[in-house]
Structure 1
Amino acid sequence: MRSLFGLFVVVATASLYLYSLSLYLPAVPRRRALPTLNIVDIPCRLKFPSDLEELRELAELLQFYKAEHTGYVLLLFCSAYLYKQSFAIPGSSFLNILAGAIFGSYQGLLLACMLTTVGSTMCYLLSQAFGKRYIVNLFPDKVSMLQRKVEENQDCLFFFLLFLRFFPMTPNWFLNMSAPIVNIPITFFFGSVFIGLLPYNFICVQTGVMLSEVSSLDDLFSWERLVQLLAIACMALLPGALIRRFSQRRLKLDAQAQNGLITDKKVQ
């Protein structure tokens, strides 16, 4: 009961901080005007996007603010991202896309990778401090199966964790919460999140960059965009192919993804 109360205090404090940060906006920049932006409605538009249309509006709004309040936009974005990751709230892909739209390819990718890693590690620590018993009670089969696979791959645990990030047989949010329960060291966890989610973050950030730059179908099918899409595809496929090749030789998987669970499959 005490752990549940502690988690409630942490969530409530973080929620109050994020709400306050979004409420007390700095002065509206006057450097440039956007005809599609209604200044009167700015405070109510600061919310997590749930579809591409809301994502476009939010990206336009934050780009508008970033002209004169870069520090505020950066703090707001980082706080919102860490909030979602720390409490395993779905929708981080939208924030990765938003990072590309607001901060560009390189800064956006660096931010996405750092925030994904730090936020996932915070989720790990919150689970370790408050949630072990509840997670085991809620997902006993998943936890026990993951525990067994971790024990079987102790000699190459880091590559096993990379495999799980590239080919998620369990959702990332569950892996973040259950990692301390199955005795995955935080150093391995931290490194595997940063490297393992790099291709995914890259794809999302580049999507955000194109979202902010493309205004018509002609722009989308230009040679520059086609080369960019090819680079994205290579970035996504190459690391996964290397990990899969390694896993066939070293990792003890003998498993398949079924309804989000790692289930045994006998070798004939």
Structure 2
Amino acid sequence: MRSLAGLAALVAAASVFLYLLSTHLPPGPTRGPPGSAEEEEVEEDGGVQEYRLKFPSDLDELRELAEMLKFYNREHHGYVLLLFCSAYLYKQSFAIPGSSFLNMLAGAIFGPWEGLALACLLTTVGSTFCFLLSSAFGKQHVVQRFPEKVALLQRKVEENRSSLFFFLLFLRFFPMTPNWFLNITCPVLNIPMPIFFSSVFIGLIPYNFICVRTGSMLSEISSLDDIFSWGTLAQLLAIALMALLPGALIKRYGEAHLKVDGVDSNGPSRAEVKPVRERW
């Protein structure tokens, strides 16, 4: 009970901080981009612009938020960076789905390379925070809530203990088990922190690259003609090749050296599961 109370207090404190950060923005620009809806709204309101922030749930909301933050970023880069990092770490630390939208938002706001660096850094740091929170507050609850999946992963970790880093890398490249579940389960499986940290950073580079580049391209596309231009198609092909190459190499290595049969995102059947042994 104490562990749940402590975790709830951390979630509440982080939620309040993020809420205050998103609702107490410094004074924004007084003019929108030429010809934009923001410019017309500012003129109607006498030069006062109000911003309302929320996590995007679809591509339309993503593009709207990206346009607003890109415009706001011109005068308050540091604040936008702090707000974005805080929102990203909030989602990653508490295993909240939606990192793909934030990765695309990073590409749209900060560009492909700064966005990629941010996404890789924040993914790794946020996953590490999630690892530490699970280790401190949630080990027993993870086992009680997901006994079958934890048991299967525990067996696979023991079978691949000699190649543990590459096994974790394989799971990140091919998410047969969701990333958030790996983050909360690794402390239960006694995965060393350095191996966990490096496997997250390297293993999610292709995924982050795809999302960030997609967000960067979406922010530049204004019509269907832009999507089917030779330049856009060439970028899509390059993204596909960059993402597939490391995955193919890891898969080839995994087939030869790793034991990953039976691991899937839907969990194992009862017949495949051995009783899980608590190791703390």
User: How many pairs are equivalent?
Assistant: 264
Within-5 A mapping of 1:128-167: 128-167=135-174
Q: Is 1:240 the counterpart of 2:234 in the alignment?
A: no
Tell me how far apart the structure 2 counterparts of residues 260 and 235 of structure 1 sit (CA, whole Å). Answer: 30
Q: Is 1:197 the counterpart of 2:204 in the alignment?
A: yes
Indicate the residue corresponding to 1:220 in structure 2.
227
- SS of 2:264 mapped into structure 1: strand
Matched AA of 1:187: P
**8 Å Cα contact 2:152/2:263 also seen in 1:** no
Matched AA of 1:137: Q
**8 Å Cα contact 2:28/2:49 also seen in 1:** no
- SS of 1:127 mapped into structure 2: helix
Q: Is 1:78 the counterpart of 2:85 in the alignment?
A: yes
Classify 1:260/1:203 alpha carbon distance in 2 versus 1 (closer, same or farther; 3 Å): farther
Q: Deviation of residue 42 (structure 1)?
A: 3.4
Q: Deviation of residue 168 (structure 1)?
A: 1.4
Q: Deviation of residue 257 (structure 1)?
A: 2.2
Q: Percent identity over the alignment?
A: 68
* Cα offsets for 1:145-190 (capped at 9, x unmatched): 1111111111100000011011112111110000000011111111
TM-score normalized by the length of structure 2: 0.90
- SS of 2:37 mapped into structure 1: coil
Tell me how far apart the structure 2 counterparts of residues 261 and 164 of structure 1 sit (CA, whole Å). Answer: 15
Matched AA of 1:178: T
Matched AA of 2:182: L
Classify 1:127/1:41 alpha carbon distance in 2 versus 1 (closer, same or farther; 3 Å): farther
Classify 1:261/1:27 alpha carbon distance in 2 versus 1 (closer, same or farther; 3 Å): farther
Tell me how far apart the structure 1 counterparts of residues 237 and 268 of structure 2 sit (CA, whole Å). Answer: 32
* Cα offsets for 1:237-264 (capped at 9, x unmatched): 1111000110111112233526244995
TM-score normalized by the length of structure 1: 0.94
Tell me how far apart the structure 1 counterparts of residues 239 and 268 of structure 2 sit (CA, whole Å). Answer: 29
Q: Deviation of residue 31 (structure 1)?
A: 6.0
**8 Å Cα contact 1:169/1:261 also seen in 2:** no
Give runs of ≥4 in structure 1 deviating > 3 Å.
30-34, 38-43, 260-264
- SS of 2:50 mapped into structure 1: helix
**8 Å Cα contact 2:262/2:268 also seen in 1:** no
**8 Å Cα contact 1:170/1:261 also seen in 2:** no
**8 Å Cα contact 1:169/1:260 also seen in 2:** no
Indicate the residue corresponding to 2:277 in structure 1.
none
RMSD, matched Cα: 1.8
Tell me how far apart the structure 2 counterparts of residues 174 and 110 of structure 1 sit (CA, whole Å). Answer: 24
Mind listing any 5+ residue stretches in structure 2 that lack a counterpart?
A: 43-47, 273-280
* Cα offsets for 1:193-233 (capped at 9, x unmatched): 11111111000001101111011122111221111111100
Indicate the residue corresponding to 1:101 in structure 2.
108
Indicate the residue corresponding to 2:118 in structure 1.
111
Of 166-175 and 97-106, more deviation after overlay is shown by: 166-175
